[in-house]
């Protein structure tokens, strides 16, 4: 199996697991916050904006804007994924693409993304998020690691290609 095939499974896996966990959250979290760990609750929420509720969509014009921008960004990420050569780079783009498409699939029917992961400590709560957001974040971290280690653009070992 090629790196490209494996990364396609990552895209599809993130979309599938994200959709499944969002469905479970809708079924089992009925407004109550469920403590899981001292710093983690499961709390159902809906986000009509983008990351952390920024740019909340107001009306159909806002919804269309978010959907079209998400499609455009996803197309660029898909193109970068297709052109990528390094394994870590390709997996990073795949994780970002899977997360973006997972949230898009959730947003299209009713204009909101389902969030349910609530990290907190000492009365402070991080904005509620979902597994698609985790995929996007993990993808960005992988791209940063690929850049720092020199694994970008086909250099798969740290320092490869340096004099």
Question: Among all residues, which ones are annotated catalytic?
Answer: 115, 133
Residue 80: closest CA among 91, 93, 68, 69: 93
**Tokens at 86, concatenated:** 């390094």
Q: What are phi and psi of 37, to 5 degrees?
A: -135, 165
Q: What is the largest CA-CA distance in the chain?
A: 59
Q: What are phi and psi of 42, to 5 degrees?
A: -105, 115
């Amino acid at each position: 199996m090629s790196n490209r095939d494996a990364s396609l499974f990552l895209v599809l896996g993130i979309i599938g697991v994200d959709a499944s966990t969002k469905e479970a959250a809708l079924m089992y979290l009925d407004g109550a916050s469920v403590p899981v760990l001292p710093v983690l609750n499961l709390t159902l929420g809906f986000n009509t904006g983008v990351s952390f509720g920024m740019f909340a969509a107001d009306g159909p014009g806002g919804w269309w804007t978010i959907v079209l921008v998400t499609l455009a960004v996803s197309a660029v990420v898909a193109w970068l994924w297709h052109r990528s050569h390094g394994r870590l780079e390709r997996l990073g783009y795949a994780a970002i693409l899977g997360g973006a498409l997972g949230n898009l699939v959730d947003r299209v029917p009713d204009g909101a993304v389902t969030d349910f992961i609530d990290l907190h400590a000492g009365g402070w709560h991080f904005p509620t998020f979902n597994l698609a957001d985790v995929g996007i974040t993990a993808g960005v971290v992988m791209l940063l690691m690929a850049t720092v280690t020199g694994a970008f653009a086909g250099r798969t070992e740290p320092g490869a290609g340096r004099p």
